[in-house]
Structure 1
Amino acid sequence: MTGSRFDRVLGCHAADLAAVEAIVTRAGTSFAKGMHILSRERRYGMFAIYAFCREVDDIADGDTKVENPVEELEAWRARVAHIFQNETQNALDRVLAATIQEFDLQQKDFDAVIDGMLMDVPDPVIAPDEAALDLYCDRVASAVGRLSVRVFGDASEEAARVAHHLGRALQMTNILRDIKEDSDRGRLYLPQELLSRFKVPAAPQEALFAPGLDGLARVLAKRAHDHYRLAWAAMKKCGKKPMRPAAMMAASYQPILYALEKRGWTQPEKPVRVNKALRLARSLIVGFR
C-alpha cells in the first residue's frame, strides 16, 4: 500500500490504520463522514477512540456475545493500562497507543468510559437518582468528549468545559429519543426524582405510556438545552478550527431535541422528523463560524 492515504499517519502501519477504519465503517454510522473535516492524523486518532468506544459499548449492550461482560470490560481496563505502557497486541492497540502519545490523552478518561459501561452490566440502569444519572452521562459521553477535544487540537480548560456540557447534552438527547428502545432492553435512564414528581412508574415498560411522561421529558429537555447553551458559550472561547467538529455534533443533535419537543412524549414510539430543524443546525454552524 505504498503511497496510499494511510502511509505514515500517526507513525502507524497502513494495515493497522485500515483495520481501525474498518471497525468504524462496520458500525454503519455517519461518524466517519463527519470526521473528514479533520487532518489525517486527527481523523485516525478519532477513529481509534471511536473503535475503542464501539468495542466496549458492544460488550455492555450484549451485541458482542461474551459469557461474562463484566470480566470482558475489566479486561479492557487492563488492556488500556498496557496500551499506556506501549504494550500492544493488535492493530487497534497500536493505533490507540500512537493516538495517546500524539495528543496526550488521559488514561482516566478511558477508564471512565469503561466505568460507564459497567454501570449498565450485569444489571441495566433503571431509574437512577440525579447524581447517578449525571455520573453516567459524564462517563459515557463527557469522558469521550474530553478525549475528543484533545484530538481536535484543544486541551484547554474551556475545551474541557465543552466536553462536560456537550457530552451531557448529547446523552440527554439520546435518552429522550430512545425511551422506547431502552425500555425494550429493560433500561430506564429517567431519574428517580422526576419519576416521583410526575408520578411515572419506575418500571421501563410501564413508564412508556404514563400520563406524566411528557411533562417529565420536557423538564429533562430543558436541562439538555441548558447544556447545549453552555457548550456553545465555551466553544466561543476556544479556537474555532479545533471546535468545528464539536460544533457540528451540537448542531446535528440539537435539532433532534427540538423535533422531540415538537412531537412530545405521549407517543414515545413515534419517530421524529428533523428536516425542518436541520435548517436551524445550518444557521448555528454559520453563527459559530
Structure 2
Amino acid sequence: MINKQIYTFSSQQADFAVCEKSIKKHSKTFYFAFSQLPKEQAQSIFAIYAFCRTADDIVDLTKNSDELARLYEKLEAFEQGEIPDEPIFRALAVVFDHYEMEIQPFYDMLNGQAKDLEFKQPNTLADLQEYAYYVAGSVGLMLLPILSKHAPEIQEPAKKLGEAMQITNILRDIGEDYRMGRIYLPKEMMAQFHVCNADLGADRPNSQLIELWEYLAQIAEQAYDESLDMLPLIEPAARKPLYLAAVVYREILTEIRTHQYQMLTKRQAVGRIRKLELFHQATKELHQLTAGGANV
C-alpha cells in the first residue's frame, strides 16, 4: 500500500497501458468510441473499464466469492488513501486525484456483480432494472465526472444509458446466458408472453420470445433516447465519443433484428464498416442534438 499522492498521468503510463490493453481486448465498441477522447480522459475511462472488467471476470470465469470480497477490500483500502500496489488501482489513484470522482458507484458495481455470483432470475421488470443499475448504470456514474463538469446535474440520464446498454447485453446474450444457467428475462414477463425456459435453449426463437424480446428492446431504446438529454452538458470533446458509444451499442439491437433474432445460438455484433458509417452519421447528428447547449 502506497500513498496515492505520488501518482500522476505521466508517472503511471505503464499502468494506463495495462488498462488500455484490457478494454482493447474485451470491448471493441467502447475502445472504438472512447479512444477518440483527449489522451488523459481516454486513459481515465480505460482505468475504470479495467476495474469493472476485473470484477466481471471474477464472476464469469473464476466464480469465486472470496476473490470478489478481496477486490471489495482493496476498494475500501483505496477509499482510505491506501492504494493497492497494482496497475489498475495505481491508475485509478490518478483518476481520483484529477477528477471529482465518487466512490459509491464503484461499490454499487461490485454489489451488482455479487448478485450474479448468487444468481436469481428477476421476478419483475423492476427487479431487472434494479440489477441493470447495479452492474451498468453505476458504471455510467463512474464515467460521468470524466466526461462533464456538470456531473451532479445529469446523473439520471447517465444511469439510463448504462441501464440501456445492460438490457442490450441481456437481449444479445439470451442463449449464451441460458447455457450458463442464467435467465435474466423476468419471470412475470415470461409468463405474460407465454415463454418457457425450454424456449431459450431452442435453435431459433418462437414468436412469443420475439414479442418479449421486442418489448424489452423498446424499453432499452427509450432509455437510449432519454440518455441523450445529457449531451449538452457533456464536455465538447467528449460528446462525440459518448454519443458514438451509445449509437453503436444500440445498433446491436438492429443487428439482431436484421439477422432474424438469432440470439439463441450466435452473439450478434456491429461490424467495423458499420461502426465507421455510424461514426460519420454521429458527426452530423450531434450538432442537432446539442444545438443551444454547445457552449454550456
Give TM-score scaled by structure 1 length: 0.84
Query: In structure 1, what is the Cα distance between the partners aligned to 2:251 and 2:26?
Result: 23
Contact 1:228 1:250 in 2 (8 A): yes
Separation in 2 of the partners of 1:274 and 1:45? 25
CA shift at 1:131, angstroms? 2.1
Farther off after superposition, 52-61 or 127-136? 127-136
Q: Is the contact between residue 16 and residue 95 of structure 1 (CA under 8 Å) also seen in structure 2?
A: yes
Paired residue secondary structure (2:82): coil
Quick one: structure 1 residues 199 and 281, their matched pair in 2 at CA, closer, same or farther if it must change by over 3 Å?
Answer: farther
Structure 1 residue aligned with 2:281: 283
Matched with 1:188 is 183
Unaligned 5+ runs, structure 1? 1-7
Provide the residue aligned with 2:148 in structure 1: 153
Normalised by the size of structure 2, how large is the TM-score? 0.82
| 8 Å contact from structure 2 (residues 165, 249) kept in 1 | yes
Q: 1:120 maps to what in 2?
A: 116
Match of 1:171 in 2: 166
Preserved CA contact (<8 Å) 2:178 2:201: no
The offset of 1:251, in angstroms, is: 1.3
Q: Residues 11-57 of structure 1: CA distance to partner in whole angstroms, max 9, x if unpaired?
A: 53333333333433443635334322222221221111011011000
Who is 2:70 aligned against?
A: 75
Hey, what does 1:38 align to over in structure 2? 37
User: Can you list the C-alpha shifts for 1:102-149, whole angstroms capped at 9, x where unaligned?
Assistant: 11221110001101111110x334344222211111111111111112
Change (3 A) 1:197 1:145: same
Gaps of 5+ in 2: 1-6, 288-296
Contact 2:175 2:263 in 1 (8 A): no
Residue in 2 that maps onto 1:13: 12
Q: Any idea what SS the aligned residue of 1:252 has? A: helix
Q: Can you list the C-alpha shifts for 1:169-218, whole angstroms capped at 9, x where unaligned?
A: 11111111111111121111111221111111246845874541011001
Aligned to 2:125: 130
Question: Which residue is 1:48 aligned to?
Answer: 47
**1:167: Cα distance to partner?**
0.8
RCO higher in structure (CA 8 A, sep ≥6): 2
Paired position in structure 1 for 2:58: 59
Whether 1:252 and 2:248 are equivalent positions in the alignment is yes
Question: For 1:213, which of 209, 233, 249 is the aligned residue?
Answer: 209
Cα distance 1:49–1:60, how it changes in 2: closer, same or farther (>3 A)? Answer: same
Which residue number corresponds to residue 105 of structure 1?
101
Return the offset for 1:77. Answer: 1.3
Q: Distance in 1 between matches of 2:78 and 2:149?
A: 23
1:261 positional shift? 3.0
Residues matched between the structures, number: 277
For 1:93 and 1:277, the matched residues in 2 are separated by 35
Note if contact 1:10-1:102 (Cα within 8 Å) is conserved in structure 2: no
SS in 2 for 1:51: helix
Aligned 8 A contact 2:148 2:234 in 1: no
d(CA) in 2 for partners of 1:95 and 1:164?
24
Distance 1:28 1:238 in 2: 22
Which residue does 2:292 correspond to in 1?
none
Three-state SS of the structure 2 residue aligned to 1:200 is coil
1:235 Cα deviation after fit: 1.9
Q: Is the 8 A contact 1:12 1:94 kept in 2?
A: no
How many angstroms apart in 2 are the aligned matches of 1:255 and 1:14?
A: 33
Deviates more, 1:128-137 or 1:172-181: 128-137
Partner secondary structure for residue 119 of structure 1:
helix
Q: Considering only aligned residues, what root-mean-square deviation do their CA atoms show, in Å?
A: 2.7
Q: Sequence identity of aligned pairs in percent?
A: 27
